[in-house]
Amino acid sequence: MLKLSALELLSPARDAQTGIAAIDHGADAVYIGGPAFGARAAAGNTLDEIARLAEYAHRYDARVFLALNTLFTNEELPLARKLAFDAADAGVDVLILQDMGLLAGPLPDIELHASTQCDIRTPEKAVFLEKAGFSQMVVARELSLDEVARIRARLSPETRIEYFIHGALCVSYSGQCYMSEALVHRSANRGACAQLCRLPYDVSTEAGVPLYKKKHVLSLRDNNQTEHLEALVDAGVSSFKIEGRLKDASYVKNITAWYRNALDAIIARRPELSRSSAGRSTFTFEPSPEKSFNRGRTDYFIDGRKFDAPYDLAELETPKAAGAPVGILRAIEPKSLLLKPRDGVTLANGDGLTYRTAEGDVRGFSANRIEPAAKGLVRVYPREATERLSGLLVGATILRNRDQAFSKLMAGDTARRRIPVTLAFTVTEDALDLVVTDGTSCGAASVAMELDPPANPEKNRASLAANLGKLGDTVYEAADILIPEDLDVFVPASIANQLRRAAVEELDRERILARRGTSRKTPVAASENPYPEPILGFNANVANDAARDFYAAHGARVTAPAFEIKPVANAPLMTCRHCVRAQLKLCPKMVKAFPEILEKTDRALLRPEPLILTNSAGERFRAEFHCRRSPCEMTITKC
């Protein structure tokens, strides 16, 4: 079991090759979907591919998590259980679970982690899951530092907290979103979310007064906790998770490298902290989150809900990546655009460029060709005629959401990960010895031979150091090579190479033997671990008899099966901390800090009454605002 002070950077893996890239770029662990039953149905992998990833990860003492975190029907449960055992045989270290039905029967002896789909928001829920046998809690993305710290205070020192630090945000609490299932029969709890939150909605009062047209009021900006990593450490987080099992290798490389550097900087100045895997990565590029797909950035509710601070969590105009500003448009010509680039910005053929219209819409085009122009300008030839770029005006800020040069760079080899070792060479009476150690394990080799003096001692010593340091085809790099200053024995290159290879092979074997596999936490008796709530409805997500019996054994009665088994009329389809009223500056709690709201808004609109959201298909939803809850919440129901 890892110590709380062993920080873990956890990266997504769409497939084995992406997972290997994540490891190379500094991930301490990766999470991946198997052939079925992962909460990203489009990101499945064969067991052979998972085994390949595990073998690679384990070279660096990195771990592989299998996402087995959907809901299972009675018929699927035995198949999911078999997959759990097959995954363990393939080398998987951890199972990420949501469905408590799996706990009712045999599982492999590896760690179980409670998925974000378990909706862990309270210390009581976390303690229950810990006692049920989970070693790591993926707490809700919405939690503040204070809420995380309160959970940490209630857990044992053996149980770790995992927190999302980057990537897309679900607007609803994870595990509590039923809109996709209700409207298009694609369950978010079964890995098939249709992402209806990314659509535009008209907003009106219940009386029918229109307020906004075609705004993406439920589409949140992307999570970025770069500035809060150390505060999260202090709050009790040990595992730092990057979202994105559907993202490509370029994204995973860049974002993993970014957070690797950030966490290493914290570890370097705090000796009580360490990494949870071995090796260090070097990069051929400068990591930057702005160069990967993003919808803008937010740190969400990390500091709690602040009514005296601006609220801007949703990207109202588009769910797409608008990109980073690269320049100002100076002129529009029949076949080209004249652009003044920002300092330090270089544009390239194939770049994807975007702009905002006067109405706030985000539109884009590809740069077919870029040429220098006079007075520090560049001439951009779009792939389409400039007159077709509707809403583009001189003076507009041009943004770039596809950096072609960066994309080409990221398509190649961009990182190298090596484990530092010390090589110590010594001479005995009739043999040459070498010990190679990574600080924990070591390998040794010896060659008996006649010991002749060197013709050139200085050259002999330099040649020996060079040959011992040839570790390029291994996972190691020479941090230090120790050779006696008074070496008076000639060491042929063939002997040095033989010693190095044999010692490294033994080090490999010793590191494998020393690597401890993770084991499942022993659960306490159900009678000693009552569920925090005695009555459970559909939102407990009970999809099979074993899960129902699990909750019954823990003293909770399930009154309705999962929404996917039996839809519930008038049920809340989303439960959110995000607030449409706050986003639209109609929150009554913000008026004191922002009195200008009253200058622009009818006071009647500031009452916390429901609003109606209507999509392009004419489907209507009621957003209700529960301002007296702590923290306040919003629920969405179908009208």
* pLDDT at residue 210 in the model: 96
In single-letter form, the type of residue at position 551 comes to: Y
Asked which of 355-359, 520-524, 585-589, 623-627 is least confident by mean pLDDT, the reply is 355-359
CB 559 within 8 A of CB 551: no
The fraction of the chain above a pLDDT of 90, given in percent, is 93
Average pLDDT over every residue of 517-532: 94
* pLDDT at residue 39 in the model: 60
Q: How far is residue 96's CA from residue 63's CA, in Å, rounded to a whole number? A: 13
The total of structural domains in the chain comes to 3
Alpha helices in 25-76 (DSSP H): 47-58
Residue 225's CATH number? 3.20.20.70
Nearest CA to 45 out of 111, 90, 106, 81 is that of: 90
At 476, which helix (H) or strand (E)? strand 476-482
Q: How far is residue 624's CA from residue 610's CA, in Å, rounded to a whole number? A: 5
Burial label for 390, CB within 10 Å (0-12, 13-18, 19+), is exposed
Residue 40 confidence (pLDDT) above 70: no
Alpha helices in 202-295 (DSSP H): 229-235, 249-269
pLDDT category, 117, cuts 50, 70, 90?
A: very high
Average pLDDT over every residue of 353-366: 90
Average pLDDT over every residue of 282-295: 95
Which domain, by its residues, includes 339? 317-410
Question: Buried b vs exposed e over 472-502: b needs ≥16 C-beta within 10 Å?
Answer: eebbbbbeebebeeebebbbeeebbebbbeb
52 and 114 share a domain?
yes
Q: What residues contact residue 431 under an 8 Å CB cut-off, 6+ apart?
A: 446, 447, 448, 449
Within a domain: residue 639? no
Of 514, 548, 572, the position where a domain reaches its end is 514
Within a domain: residue 190? no
Of 493, 514, 535, the position where a domain reaches its end is 514
The fraction of the chain above a pLDDT of 70, given in percent, is 99
Within a domain: residue 49? yes
Average pLDDT over every residue of 66-72: 96
pLDDT category, 375, cuts 50, 70, 90?
A: confident
Residue 324's CATH number? 2.40.10.170
441 and 399 share a domain?
no
55 and 35 share a domain?
yes
* pLDDT at residue 360 in the model: 80
* pLDDT at residue 259 in the model: 98
* pLDDT at residue 429 in the model: 86
8-state DSSP, 423? E
Burial label for 469, CB within 10 Å (0-12, 13-18, 19+), is middle
Average pLDDT over every residue of 360-369: 91
CB 255 within 8 A of CB 225: no
pLDDT category, 43, cuts 50, 70, 90?
A: low
153 and 242 share a domain?
yes
Average pLDDT, the chain: 95
Number of residues that make up the chain? 639
Whether omega before 631 lies within 30 degrees of 0, making that bond cis, reads yes
In single-letter form, the type of residue at position 100 comes to: M
Average pLDDT over every residue of 63-68: 97
* pLDDT at residue 359 in the model: 83
pLDDT per residue as tens digits for the range 203-220: 999 999 999 999 999 999
324: its two tokens: 């980073």
Within a domain: residue 92? yes
Sign of the CA dihedral with 25 first, then 299, 637, and 72 last: positive
pLDDT category, 267, cuts 50, 70, 90?
A: very high
Residue 516 confidence (pLDDT) above 90: no
Average pLDDT over every residue of 512-517: 86
Within a domain: residue 614? no
146 and 17 share a domain?
yes
232 and 104 share a domain?
yes
Residue 634 confidence (pLDDT) above 90: yes
Average pLDDT over every residue of 244-254: 95
359 and 469 share a domain?
no
Average pLDDT over every residue of 577-603: 94
Within a domain: residue 176? no
95 and 161 share a domain?
yes
Within a domain: residue 303? no
Average pLDDT over every residue of 186-190: 95
* pLDDT at residue 305 in the model: 94
Of 229, 257, 291, the position where a domain reaches its end is 291
* pLDDT at residue 42 in the model: 64
Phi-psi region of 208 (alpha: psi -120 to 50; beta: other; left: phi over 0): left
Within a domain: residue 244? yes
Q: In Å, how far are 131, 482, 546, 553 from 528, measured between CA atoms? A: 9, 57, 19, 10
36 and 143 share a domain?
yes
pLDDT per residue as tens digits for the range 170-180: 999 999 999 99
325 and 472 share a domain?
no
466 and 404 share a domain?
no
Asked which of 140-154, 357-371, 526-540, 560-574 is least confident by mean pLDDT, the reply is 357-371
* pLDDT at residue 579 in the model: 98
Q: How far is residue 625's CA from residue 609's CA, in Å, rounded to a whole number? A: 7
Average pLDDT over every residue of 33-61: 88
374 and 443 share a domain?
no
Residue 517 confidence (pLDDT) above 90: no
Residue 539 confidence (pLDDT) above 80: yes
Average pLDDT over every residue of 559-572: 96
Residue 487 confidence (pLDDT) above 80: yes
Average pLDDT over every residue of 352-377: 92
Longest C-alpha distance within the chain, in Å?
100
